[in-house]
A and B are shown apart, each in its own frame.
Chain A
Amino acid sequence: MNPFHYSKPLSVQEAVQLAGPASRFIAGGTNLLDLMKENLTRPEHLIDITGLALNDVSETARGGVMIGALVSNADLAWHPLIEQRYPLLSQAILAGASPQLRNMASTGGNLLQRTRCYYFYDAAVPCNKREPGSGCPARTGLNRIHAILGASRQCVATHPSDMCVALAALNAVVHVQGRSGARTIEFADFHRLPGDTPERDNQLADDELVTAVELPAAGFAEYSHYLKIRDRASYAFALVSVAAALDLTGPVIREARLALGGVAHKPWRDEAVEAWLVGKAVSHETFGAAADALLQNAEPLEHNAFKVALARRAIIRALSTAAQGGHA
């Protein structure tokens, strides 16, 4: 790790005043310190935000839940409000990382974790995300774990989070504060596709701090399921994951939410497909047609074509399991 200055502000206001292009906020540190040990990130100043009052999980006046940015992944997954009303989110969190990391990692930090693309993680090779304009060896290299949707010539990395896939499906809202004030960002807009600026993962400015994540009232507790497919049964990043949530009247779909992880630079949703499902009856054929529509523009690379077939089956299985009340 490079030498750096350390400070621990006691208010959000003070924290964002301290922030700049060469600083990083630190809470759990599980991803940031790893990146620093690999010499991929060399901040001059770490701003420890664990002294800020952002630890609450509370019900909102709108019937939803506000999650403080410092709530740990484990505390969130096992919070009674989340377990009962947003089981999709609990499942997604518990599908990620290890128990130790979930005890450390924060809600805000989970949103900001960087890709685990092998080339991004190797300081000895070019990477447009790390060094803009240097090239993307993944596009023609070992790209088994890479994106099949929404990638660009410059970057084929995927977003690594499970929690974010559920938050995308649940239409969460990200609350941020910068020096010029507070604002909210719809979850679908928070993360970016790589385009020509893959170095930017999300819409945050240098001085902006995630302060909370808000869940709307609709938790789809009756009919939801998080399905994660990976190379081993636990503690591995998703090859493909699916957050499926349904509102049903009998067999008829009233509302559908479908978000995919492991396939794109951000949690992937297709609102046209979700709208198409409304009014249809639950069936294998309906879910298969939805999967085909969602994947019709997939652009697999040399080594990840299997993800298209895997995603299709995972979508059908996750929606079918959700329709059965989350029980496979």
Chain B
Amino acid sequence: MSATFPDETPPSFARHPLSLTLNGQHTRVEVLPWTTLLDLLREQLGLIGSKKGCDHGQCGACTVLRDGKRVNACLTLAVMCQGAELTTIEGLANGDELHPMQQAFISHDAFQCGYCTPGQICSAVGLANEGRAQSSADIAELMSGNLCRCGAYSNIRDAIEEALPACRQRVGQGGEQ
């Protein structure tokens, strides 16, 4: 998989200071303008839970929460995240206590190879925050931005359906950003 940014700073292109909240931690970094949020997370900050699948916003493996809303980190420029509150898969659990969505994915065996799972779970938490899914069919429609090549879709849908009430309760208490 090719990197989406040149490794070295060409002359006259400045790095930009960036300050954001990442998984609850205040974080300051310097980024090149063309560094995506996904590359910042994986290459500069060592948070490799968010995955690079297609790198074009089609597969959803890079999904993270930005100010509580699910976005594709591969189509987000890091430099445009100044002041953002970001939550990645690494930030969902509370110590050893799994997020209800994580626990539901385990309970329902909602993955096989696991590559799409961090994006699926972050997307599902974003779906819960939106509060729009009223049925199993709604969940399927509103998860269409996350592909699973193993085909674990039915278990993913069941896991989300089970976790939604607990997630909504958390949203009421502030939830994930």
Contacts and interface: CB of A to CB of B under 8 A. Distances in A.
Contact of B6 (A3, A5, A34): A3
Given A6-B33, A99-B70, A100-B57, A50 B80 contact: yes
B55 interface: yes
A6 B30 CA distance: 14
A235 B56 CA distance: 14
Interface in B60-111: 60, 63, 66, 69-72, 75-77, 79-80
Interface in A24-44: 26, 29-30, 33-34, 36-37
A8 to B, nearest CB: 8
Contacts of A297: none
Contacts of B141: 233-234
A26 B81 CA distance: 13
A101 interface: yes
Interface string B15-34: 01000000000000000111
B130 interface: yes
Contacts of A104: 71-72, 75-76
Interface in B120-146: 123, 126-127, 130, 132, 140-146
Interface residue tally on B, bucketed by range: 35 or more
B174 interface: no
A323 to B, nearest CB: 25
Contacts of A34: 56-57, 75
A51 to B, nearest CB: 9
B44 interface: no
Contacts of A84: none
A34 B54 CA distance: 11
A29 B127 contact: no
7 contacts: A3-B6, A29-B77, A48-B79, A101-B57, A101-B75, A104-B72, A234-B140
Interface of B: 4-6, 10, 13, 16, 32-34, 36, 55-57, 60, 63, 66, 69-72, 75-77, 79-80, 123, 126-127, 130, 132, 140-146
